Amino acid sequence: MRTTSTALISAAAAAALVLTGCSTDSAGTPSTSGATTSVVESQARFNGADIAFLDGMYPHHAQAVEMADMVAGRTDTAKVVALAAAIKAAQQPEMDRMTAWLQQWGQPVPASGMDHGSMDHGDMDHGDGMMSADRMDALMALSGTEFDRQWLTMMIEHHEGAVEMANVELADGENPDAKQMAADIVTAQQREIADMQAALG
């Protein structure tokens, strides 16, 4: 009788171990899908600072692309032409990513370019480096060395505004993708600012 009880206890213990093993496996499966969920959650995680960053940076980038497009036909200076090409190559894809994120977050996509820059600010700098319509028109009227100097001067201001906006996102934003973009903008545009200052001499 004792032998039978011992066998039953052993069988029960073995069954408990098997069940424990199963529960570990089943617990492991949700944790794997939990990791996938957390990636999705991190992409969907955003706050007001993230939205403000994309809403401000999208038209900012659009104006930089517009300024880069002005170079063709107005100057043959290799350094300016190369800088314009680099700016356009970097900022257009970033605009596409901003649009995609805002759509994922259920936010409206901001208008591009001069819709933001043409607001009634006169010819004064209004903090974010955006150029007034008057300054953009004046730039389009220039060519050669005059164009080079004005374009470089304006693009430095523009980039400095972008760096400030990106630093606000790094301080206050929540979305990891938007913050990474902000960090990339700071790095790239500070390097371009140094190149443009060197080109101005």
Give 37-46 pLDDT, tens digit per residue: 555 555 679 9
pLDDT above 90: residue 142: yes
Domain span holding position 51: 45-200
Do both 27 and 111 map to the same domain? no
Do both 76 and 121 map to the same domain? yes
pTM: 0.75
Give the span between the Cα atoms of 187 and 10, in whole angstroms: 65
Q: How many domains does the chain have?
A: 2
Do both 135 and 193 map to the same domain? yes
Chosen domain end from 43, 58, 75: 43
CATH number reported for the structural domain that contains residue 90 in this entry: 1.20.1260.10
DSSP structure string for 171-197? HH---HHHHHHHHHHHHHHHHHHHHHH
Do both 74 and 128 map to the same domain? yes
Check residue 110 and give its pLDDT: 87
Do both 98 and 184 map to the same domain? yes
pLDDT above 50: residue 20: no
Do both 95 and 162 map to the same domain? yes
- Please say whether the beta carbons of 187 and 111 come within 8 A: no
Give the span between the Cα atoms of 111 and 14, in whole angstroms: 67
Do both 32 and 109 map to the same domain? no
Give the mean pLDDT of the chain: 82
pLDDT tens digits along 82-132: 999 999 999 999 999 999 999 999 999 987 654 433 443 344 445 689 999
Do both 28 and 97 map to the same domain? no
- Please say whether the beta carbons of 174 and 49 come within 8 A: yes
| Range name among 14-23, 59-68, 72-81, 107-116 with the lowest pLDDT average | 14-23
Do both 78 and 157 map to the same domain? yes
pLDDT above 70: residue 28: no
Do both 191 and 122 map to the same domain? yes
